[in-house]
Structure 1
Amino acid sequence: MQSPYIVEMNEQNFREILEGSTTSPVLIHFWAPMSQESAAIIPQLQSLTQQYNGAFTLALLNCEQEQAIASQFGVQALPTIALFINGQAVDGMGGPQEITAIEQMLSKHLPSQDELNLNKAIELMQAKEYEPALALFIELADELKAKPEVKLAIAESALETQQFELAELQLDSIPLEYQDNYYKSLIAKLELHKQAADSPEIQALESALSLNANDYDTVCELALQYHQVSRSEEALELLWSHLKTNLNVHDGELKKTIMDILSALGQTSPIAGKYRRQLYSLLY
């Protein structure tokens, strides 16, 4: 498995690898082809390393080929796992282990996967790569997403990707002590969008619909207008209010319109996901 975080340890590089543990932890796996258990777990260790995406380096030491190094480490059983931080062994395990036991050991010393994803999302946001950042934010555990500083980051990413309903949802629940200049700048962006999104055309369509709620041509047109000014949740809710009792209303035009909007929003939009599930519950 190709990865900059997975290396073969040997006599030429083992000191350099250990010195590298001063900046990033190193997990050494002592193994040998003659030890089936030590060889069999290598693919799982490689996969785990990929999941951690740089939080540690996996160094594989073939004890048959590198007996002198194995002897220096005092390895007495295969497999043996040793975690090095700042040049020192801080934890380890001897004998066959389940991958879950190794994960638990790592969790005592390394950031959680959610914390890694949060840091990555913030890096992406700072690089103005808002769409992948938002996708990572959305996948975080609820307790992390509930933190005000994370809500603000989600709101900024949502505003920059024109997911204004999501941004407003986050900003509405920010505690007073976090309503600083950063918060106020996000609120200002949201207000500017709202002003631009309430055009005379939309107001006229809303007025017409208030006189005849079952004017389906107007329903479709208003939904599309909402979507064009990033009021997509209102568009989907308007269409759904008619479709939930009759999927084929207006010769299927409303269904086509909602599918078009869902497609345009893509797979990462949580709002689209909500209405996609509701629609599929009727389709299937």
Structure 2
Amino acid sequence: MQSPFIVELNEQNFHQTLEGSMQAPVLIHFWASMSQESADIIPDLRNLAQQYNGAFTLALVNCEEQQAIAAQFGIQALPTIALFMNGQPVDGLGGPQTLASVQAMLNKHLPSQEELDLNKALELIQQGSHAEALKILQTLPEELTQKGDVKLALADCLLETQQFDLASKLLEHIPLEYQDNYYKSLVAKLELHEQTANSPEVQALEKALQDDPSNLQTAHDLAIQYHQVNRDEEALDLLWSFLSKDLNAQDGNLKKAFMDILSALGQGNSIASKYRKQLYSLMY
């Protein structure tokens, strides 16, 4: 199956391919079967184009079959590699090359892998795939995650995956120049959650537990209410305060509620992972 990032350049697609360098760089590799070095590197260049996943297009020119194109570029030796951006040549290599030297040339002009990952995460957010975007954002180096726009993206993902406490901490440290409409919409979403999360039912149960801290039924009911208003970390923390002393508290009802909340949060949730580890350490 032909990759969308790799083309065999000919007179029919020549102009379209070069016009494509207005959107993404085009790496043109001039080769011929009579030049063993120029042919041998092609599989590595193909793999490289796949790894970069559209960050550049690889255009292969068989100079034996496309002599007019080779002549137009004035190719004197094989292999020859030329990098085009915005319709113009910006760099190139002549003679036999290692893959590392090709990568070094590309790295001078292309975004880093971390920047490509960030762009992918931002695309996922636009598509509504916040959980997938969050996994990528959490792997980025600190110099990127400390930037205001990346913090906003992280906060967005945390809100959508119901990790409200972590989102709140991030939103408290957004630089002033990034406090735009996007920031304001995230703050509004957090405030709406906080208003809902502090319902009269929750307040009444909190008061009841404060008056009788050892009442297991009240603790159970409050944890369920916390979970229903997405205060899951507080729910798990409350249940764990009893389960850590007695796994079978309230005839196993507290453990069941605890497991139900972990299950609802799923495997990828950092809060669930924390409490799941604590439970396993006690059980095994």
Paired residue type of 2:169 = L
1:61 paired residue number: 61
1:41 paired residue number: 44
1:203 paired residue number: 203
Larger Rg: 2
RMSD value, Cα: 3.6
Q: Using the alignment, how far apart are the partners of 1:82 and 1:245 within structure 2?
A: 68
Q: What TM-score does the superposition give when structure 2 sets the normalisation length? A: 0.76
1:215-234 equivalence runs, <5 A: 215-234=215-234
Runs of 4+ in 1 over 6 A off after TM superposition: none
Structure 1: runs of 5+ lacking an equivalent: none
The verdict on how the C-alpha distance between 1:254 and 1:112 changes in structure 2, with shifts beyond 3 A counting, is farther
1:173 paired residue number: 173
1:146 paired residue number: 146
SS of structure 2 residue aligned to 1:11: coil
Paired residue type of 1:95 = P
1:26-105 equivalence runs, <5 A: 26-31=26-31, 35=37, 37-50=40-53, 54-63=54-63, 65-66=65-66, 69-70=69-70, 72-73=72-73, 74=75, 76-78=77-79, 80-93=80-93, 94-98=95-99, 100-105=100-105
2:164 paired residue number: 164
Q: How far apart are 1:190 and its partner, in Å? A: 2.0
Q: Contact 2:49–2:57 (CA<8 Å) still a contact in 1?
A: no
Q: Using the alignment, how far apart are the partners of 2:2 and 2:159 within structure 1?
A: 37
Q: Using the alignment, how far apart are the partners of 2:238 and 2:29 within structure 1?
A: 58
2:5 paired residue number: 5
Q: How far apart are 1:197 and its partner, in Å? A: 0.9
Q: What TM-score does the superposition give when structure 1 sets the normalisation length? A: 0.76
Q: Using the alignment, how far apart are the partners of 1:182 and 1:39 within structure 2?
A: 45
Q: Using the alignment, how far apart are the partners of 1:38 and 1:144 within structure 2?
A: 34
The verdict on how the C-alpha distance between 1:280 and 1:167 changes in structure 2, with shifts beyond 3 A counting, is same
The verdict on how the C-alpha distance between 1:193 and 1:85 changes in structure 2, with shifts beyond 3 A counting, is same
The verdict on how the C-alpha distance between 1:85 and 1:16 changes in structure 2, with shifts beyond 3 A counting, is same
The verdict on how the C-alpha distance between 1:11 and 1:189 changes in structure 2, with shifts beyond 3 A counting, is closer
Q: How far apart are 1:146 and its partner, in Å? A: 1.4
Q: Using the alignment, how far apart are the partners of 2:125 and 2:177 within structure 1?
A: 23
Paired residue type of 1:144 = L
Q: How far apart are 1:67 and its partner, in Å? A: 5.1
Q: How far apart are 1:283 and its partner, in Å? A: 6.3
Q: Using the alignment, how far apart are the partners of 1:127 and 1:150 within structure 2?
A: 17
Paired residue type of 1:92 = G
1:169-195 per-position Cα deviation (integer Å, ceiling 9, x unaligned): 211222455545654453343223212
Structure 2: runs of 5+ lacking an equivalent: none
Q: Contact 2:27–2:84 (CA<8 Å) still a contact in 1?
A: yes
- Which has the larger displacement, 163-172 or 185-194? 185-194
The verdict on how the C-alpha distance between 1:272 and 1:9 changes in structure 2, with shifts beyond 3 A counting, is farther
